[in-house]
Amino acid sequence: MKKICIIDYGLGNIRSLYNSIKKIGFVPTFYSERKNENFDLIFIPGVGSFNKASALLNSPDLKSFLDQSKKDSVIFGICLGMQTLLSKGFEGGEHKGLDYIDGRVDRMSKKLILPNIGYQKTFFSDQNYFSFLKKFNNEKFYFVHSYAANVKNKKNILAFTESQDLNYCAAISAERIIGTQFHPEKSGEIGLELINEVVKNI
């Protein structure tokens, strides 16, 4: 049985994610309950602001746990959790991210209606660390956000989407790191299938 951890750092709809993981047959553990264990997969959920999330995740204990874990575990950031995987973000000023993937998080164009909310068709690449997710190409996932990821190296773009005539990054990845701007746990059966696919392939 794969060992799964959810980082319960005060930001994010962790109950929804917890229930989704249980639906696919796994029982996740919260970081606050088992800080010293090793895990196969670690989720960083997130709903809120980059400045608050970065401060919490870069606290000495949590950052040390994540830095050590990414050597052997897969780390999966969702929405704001995905954004924190990048080098820095500009919500509430400039703030340092976890810096696991080179890039930055910027507010989306003022010409758009924000926050950007709804189901959007998502296009996955097969030239990536998580190429097995190509099976989800053209599927629709649920988005809700006002900031978007801009990665420096295009090889780190796992998927993209389009909203209000703007094409932008929908998922990122590197070795043992994956993040989705969309919420798989709020995307119905297709979202559960994506989570299950990640768990099976790690």
Question: 5, 79, 91, 139: which one is catalytic?
Answer: 79
The percent of residues in the chain predicted with pLDDT above 90, rounded, is 85
pLDDT of 163: 85
Q: Is the pLDDT of residue 37 over 90?
A: no
pLDDT of 25: 96
Question: 37, 169, 183, 197: which one is catalytic?
Answer: 183
- pLDDT, one tens digit per residue, over 170-202 is 999 999 999 999 999 999 999 999 999 999 998
The confidence band for 47, taking pLDDT boundaries of 50, 70 and 90, is confident
Length of the chain in terms of residues written: 202
Q: Is the pLDDT of residue 50 over 80?
A: yes
Give all domains of the chain, ordered by start, each with its CATH number: 4-201 (3.40.50.880)
The confidence band for 78, taking pLDDT boundaries of 50, 70 and 90, is very high
**Known catalytic residue at 79:** yes
pLDDT, average across residues 57-86: 96
Contacts of 50 (CB under 8 A, 6+ apart): 80, 83, 84, 89, 90, 91, 92, 95, 97, 105, 147
The residues pairing with 163 across neighbouring beta strands, listed in sequence order, are 166
Strand 116-124 versus strand 139-145 pairing type:
antiparallel
Strand 116-124 versus strand 157-163 pairing type:
antiparallel
pLDDT of 178: 98
**Known catalytic residue at 95:** no
Burial pattern 147-179, b for ≥16 Cβ within 10 A else e, equals bbbebeeeebbbbebebeeeebbbbbbbebbbb
Geometric angle at alpha carbon 108, from 138 and 191, rounded to 5°: 30
- pLDDT, one tens digit per residue, over 131-140 is 999 999 999 9
- pLDDT, one tens digit per residue, over 90-117 is 998 999 999 999 999 999 987 788 898 9
**Known catalytic residue at 145:** no
pLDDT of 12: 76
78 contacts 46 by C-beta, under 8 angstroms:
yes
pLDDT of 36: 76
Q: Is the pLDDT of residue 127 over 80?
A: no
Q: Is the pLDDT of residue 143 over 80?
A: yes
pLDDT of 34: 81
The confidence band for 1, taking pLDDT boundaries of 50, 70 and 90, is confident
Q: Is the pTM of this model over 0.85?
A: yes
pLDDT of 61: 94
